[in-house]
Chain A
Amino acid sequence: MPRILVHRAVVYTLLGLAVLIVMFPLLWMALTAVKSNGQIINPAAPLWPTEWHWSNIPDAWGKAPFARWFVNTVVFAVAATLGQLAAGMLAGYAFAMFDFPGRRLLFVVALSGLMIPFSAIIVPVAQILGDLHWLNTYQGLIVPNIASGLGTFLFRQFFLGAPRQLGEAARIDGASELRIFWQVYAPLARPATAALGIILFLQNWNNFLFPLIAVNTTKMQVVSQGLAVFQSQMTTQTQYNLIMSASLIAIVPVLLVAVAAQRHIVEGITLGAVD
């Protein structure tokens, strides 16, 4: 057999195995979502569904305002992600490209947010939001999340590795620093932006502790909160299959984003691949 085929076979086998292992808990979740409750509750029951209760999924949908949660979450996650990308790219660029007094200290400050466990500072943060009168507002939900240590760090690492000659050449041509950033380097950062954007979006989508503190009204509830509430309520009624159905519903949009995004990562990466 030609070497290339062996090579492919190995890659496919390993990847297939990995995909299987990674997806297994989710497949199980999907199977559980359509089982009868009795089968879920009895640990000795067969693992494969004995009856298929497809109606569990519409039942779960009807029991909670998923559509509204999705809208709120999309607004929150998109706005926060865009803010994080913008702020992170600017700061990362400055830390990588410019030399200025206090740079080292400011870099430590920018990254410190990542090292401070949020659950340790819940109470002071709530107090600050209260003092700003930002509780139950969109700005209260979004603005505090914009400073992203991960974004700053990643963009800095990226720009440190970007070729200097491009900037030098533009500078000789008389381009301003702002223009060099915007027209020369920012486009180069597409792969980094795409990868980071996906990671940040997913994190924002799943964030629940912050919205828990920042928002008091059901109107502004996001998916992660809503799902947890739904689960706790359905648990008291031992409706495990509905819990699994609701989880499935909550995951599907993200799944679609992930599938759409995988193509995007590729494109972004191909367009931006330069060094």
Chain B
Amino acid sequence: MFERSLRILRPTAAVATLLLAAAACGGSSDKSSDDGSAGPATFTYWTTSWTPDQIKQVDADFAKAHPGLHSKGEFIASADQYLPKVISAIKSNTQPTVLMTQNASDLPEIAQSGKLIPLDGDLKQQAGGLYPGIKDALFYKGKQLGFARSGVGDIVLFYNKKDFKDAGIAKPPATWAELVEDAKKLTDTGKKRFGYYVPLGEAEWITFAWMPLLRANGGEMLTPDGAKSAFNSPQGVKALQTWVDLMSAKAAPTTSFAQAGSFDGAPAFASHTVSMMANGQWAVDTFKKAGIDFGVAPLPRGDVGQSTSVGMEVAALLKTSKAQERAGLEFIKYLATPQVGAHLAAANGGLPSAPEQLQQPELKDHIAKDPYYQTFADSLQFGKGRPMTPAYTAVSEALYTEINKALRGQETAQQALANAAGKADTALKEQG
């Protein structure tokens, strides 16, 4: 639930979604009368991640905290399937007051409808408390389009403890160069055992998993003004070369372990085909259930430091009635309080969106019971979200398509990034 599209991340989310379209639909059919006065109000919010039980709990807690205000949550569809629903609702004027989306880069486009209310000013202080990489990902052309509630996801390095011991490697690699060396040591071609999993195939996940490598080497996805791509740089080439080297050294499987629309390759680690992989918190449970003895560590350091990619669910305010908008804003502020943030992270899963949430007793207790949590939470300090641009999907597609070609040896890293940059720049020009 933490990523832009679970599709990407989890095996079936896509699927689920897919078919999508699933969805349960929520609706703001019950618009309360609108006279602009403060007072009782009922409003609807749409989520793409909470279960019905979680929604019920959130609604009850919010009503208790804000007597007179009633939130009505609906799970409308999974993350990669909710857009037709949202666009149709806005067109027919049945949109919810609060929309929670895992694809923050959809918000600039939704704002074009004129029905999205930027949160500038209203949540300035709360936004200031967020992890910097998360906060930056909420702004488009200077406007704050939404707020990141807790329930964030990032990626770390998973490693198979037994394999490390057998290969005589004492600790997880600290740099990407070390990772490549370790991966070679861990590879046993005869047994079809590989050191690392480089994600093959074409999906958003490939871009998401490559960004940390790019950024750790000092590269960036876009120029600071967001008008052009910036990944076609020496840093970018070096980042991609690391993956290409792993492939050509046969230290990574040459077949894709994609499953039902999810490209993170979790089955490769779960089946003990690879000894290391980058993946998110959702995979912990998978690997535990698969009976793998594993540890987690922050992603390795590059030339300039560490980085990870962050996915989040962003709450945006949509125009409905004045009373509902006011209530919806209260709801977002409510979600933004450290106590509620900590509670939601502990109860519903995912990471905090602001460091302060980590200090809350409820989350502390939760972390004490989960040996893996701290590593994920610590990585947030150097994590960054996807660039906020309506052209993000097109940029990402250009990138992962070309990366896949480079990994297959059909292009060099330089060619791949140059081609991707050409396509990305066109998309940015048209849509950015």
Do chains A and B stick together as partners? yes
Q: What residues make up the interface of A, taking CB atoms closer than 8 Å to B?
A: 36-38, 41-44, 119, 122-123, 125-127, 129-131, 135-136, 208-209, 211-213, 215-218, 221, 224-229, 231-233, 235-238, 240, 243
- Beta-carbon contact of A229 and B75 below 8 Å: yes
Partner pick for B88 among A38, A41, A122, A217, CB 8 A cutoff: A122
Give 18 A-B pairs besides A232-B17, A235-B6 with Cβ atoms closer than 8 angstroms.
A119-B84, A126-B89, A127-B91, A135-B29, A213-B84, A216-B74, A217-B29, A218-B25, A228-B16, A228-B18, A229-B16, A231-B15, A232-B22, A232-B79, A235-B15, A236-B13, A238-B289, A240-B12
Listed by A's residue number, 7 A-B pairs whose Cβ atoms lie within 8 Å are A135-B92, A136-B27, A212-B20, A228-B19, A232-B16, A238-B282, A238-B289
B94 adjacent to chain A (CB < 8 Å): yes
In terms of DSSP, what is the predominant structure of the interface of chain A? Answer: helix
- A contact residues around B267 at 8 Å (CB): 41, 43
Known A221-B25, A236-B10; judge A212-B77 contact (CB<8 A).
yes
- Beta-carbon contact of A218 and B88 below 8 Å: no
Q: Which 4 A-B pairs have the closest CB atoms?
A: A216-B27, A228-B22, A130-B92, A126-B88
- B contact residues around A212 at 8 Å (CB): 20-23, 25, 77, 84-85
Partner pick for B49 among A37, A43, A208, A236, CB 8 A cutoff: A236
State the Cβ distance, B265 to closest chain A Cβ, in Å: 11
Partner pick for B285 among A215, A216, A232, A238, CB 8 A cutoff: A238
State the Cβ distance, B16 to closest chain A Cβ, in Å: 4
Partner pick for A42 among B18, B84, B290, B349, CB 8 A cutoff: B290
Expressed in whole angstroms, the Cα–Cα distance for A215 and B88 within the complex equals 11
Expressed in whole angstroms, the Cα–Cα distance for A107 and B74 within the complex equals 42
Known A225-B21, A235-B11, A235-B16; judge A216-B289 contact (CB<8 A).
no
Known A44-B272, A213-B84; judge A236-B6 contact (CB<8 A).
yes
B169 adjacent to chain A (CB < 8 Å): no
Expressed in whole angstroms, the Cα–Cα distance for A226 and B52 within the complex equals 11
- Beta-carbon contact of B19 and A208 below 8 Å: yes
- Beta-carbon contact of B13 and A43 below 8 Å: no
- Beta-carbon contact of A218 and B12 below 8 Å: no
Expressed in whole angstroms, the Cα–Cα distance for A243 and B12 within the complex equals 10
Expressed in whole angstroms, the Cα–Cα distance for A191 and B34 within the complex equals 56
Please, which residue of chain B has its CB at the minimum distance from the CB of A65?
Answer: B52
State the Cβ distance, A28 to closest chain B Cβ, in Å: 13
Q: What residues make up the interface of B, taking CB atoms closer than 8 Å to A?
A: 1, 6, 10-13, 15-29, 48-49, 51-52, 74-75, 77-79, 81, 84-85, 87-89, 91-94, 257, 266-267, 270-273, 282, 285-287, 289-291, 349
Known A126-B91, A216-B74, A218-B74; judge A231-B84 contact (CB<8 A).
no
State the Cβ distance, B17 to closest chain A Cβ, in Å: 6
Expressed in whole angstroms, the Cα–Cα distance for A211 and B270 within the complex equals 37
State the Cβ distance, B404 to closest chain A Cβ, in Å: 22
Partner pick for B78 among A127, A213, A232, CB 8 A cutoff: A232
- Beta-carbon contact of B91 and A38 below 8 Å: no
Expressed in whole angstroms, the Cα–Cα distance for A217 and B289 within the complex equals 36
Known A122-B88, A127-B92; judge A216-B26 contact (CB<8 A).
yes
- Beta-carbon contact of A235 and B10 below 8 Å: yes
User: Which one of A43, A125, A213, A235 has the highest number of Cβ atoms from chain B below 10 Å of its Cβ?
Assistant: A235
- B contact residues around A240 at 8 Å (CB): 11-12
Expressed in whole angstroms, the Cα–Cα distance for A229 and B272 within the complex equals 31
- A contact residues around B23 at 8 Å (CB): 208, 212, 221, 225, 228-229
Please, which residue of chain B has its CB at the minimum distance from the CB of A235?
Answer: B12
- Beta-carbon contact of B290 and A38 below 8 Å: yes
Please, which residue of chain A has its CB at the minimum distance from the CB of B79?
Answer: A232
Known A221-B24, A236-B49; judge A229-B78 contact (CB<8 A).
yes
Expressed in whole angstroms, the Cα–Cα distance for A265 and B225 within the complex equals 65
Expressed in whole angstroms, the Cα–Cα distance for A44 and B270 within the complex equals 8
Expressed in whole angstroms, the Cα–Cα distance for A226 and B77 within the complex equals 10
User: Which one of A119, A221, A236, A238 has the highest number of Cβ atoms from chain B below 10 Å of its Cβ?
Assistant: A236
- Beta-carbon contact of B92 and A228 below 8 Å: no
Partner pick for B24 among A37, A44, A226, CB 8 A cutoff: A226
- Beta-carbon contact of B290 and A209 below 8 Å: no
- Beta-carbon contact of B270 and A43 below 8 Å: yes
Expressed in whole angstroms, the Cα–Cα distance for A227 and B40 within the complex equals 35
Expressed in whole angstroms, the Cα–Cα distance for A215 and B51 within the complex equals 19
State the Cβ distance, B52 to closest chain A Cβ, in Å: 8
Known A41-B290, A130-B91; judge A209-B282 contact (CB<8 A).
no
- B contact residues around A38 at 8 Å (CB): 289-291
- Beta-carbon contact of A44 and B271 below 8 Å: yes
- Beta-carbon contact of B94 and A130 below 8 Å: yes
Expressed in whole angstroms, the Cα–Cα distance for A37 and B270 within the complex equals 12
- Beta-carbon contact of B94 and A216 below 8 Å: yes
- B contact residues around A216 at 8 Å (CB): 25-29, 74, 89, 94
Expressed in whole angstroms, the Cα–Cα distance for A135 and B271 within the complex equals 47
- A contact residues around B75 at 8 Å (CB): 229, 233
Expressed in whole angstroms, the Cα–Cα distance for A215 and B23 within the complex equals 10
Known A232-B13, A236-B349, A238-B285; judge A217-B270 contact (CB<8 A).
no
- A contact residues around B94 at 8 Å (CB): 130, 135, 216
- A contact residues around B273 at 8 Å (CB): 44
- Beta-carbon contact of B25 and A225 below 8 Å: yes
State the Cβ distance, A53 to closest chain B Cβ, in Å: 13
- Beta-carbon contact of A41 and B289 below 8 Å: yes
User: Which one of B13, B51, B87, B287 has the highest number of Cβ atoms from chain A below 10 Å of its Cβ?
Assistant: B51
- B contact residues around A122 at 8 Å (CB): 84, 87-88
Expressed in whole angstroms, the Cα–Cα distance for A232 and B25 within the complex equals 14
- A contact residues around B17 at 8 Å (CB): 228, 232
- A contact residues around B272 at 8 Å (CB): 44
- A contact residues around B79 at 8 Å (CB): 232
- Beta-carbon contact of B88 and A123 below 8 Å: yes
State the Cβ distance, A29 to closest chain B Cβ, in Å: 13
State the Cβ distance, A212 to closest chain B Cβ, in Å: 5
- Beta-carbon contact of B289 and A37 below 8 Å: yes
State the Cβ distance, B271 to closest chain A Cβ, in Å: 4
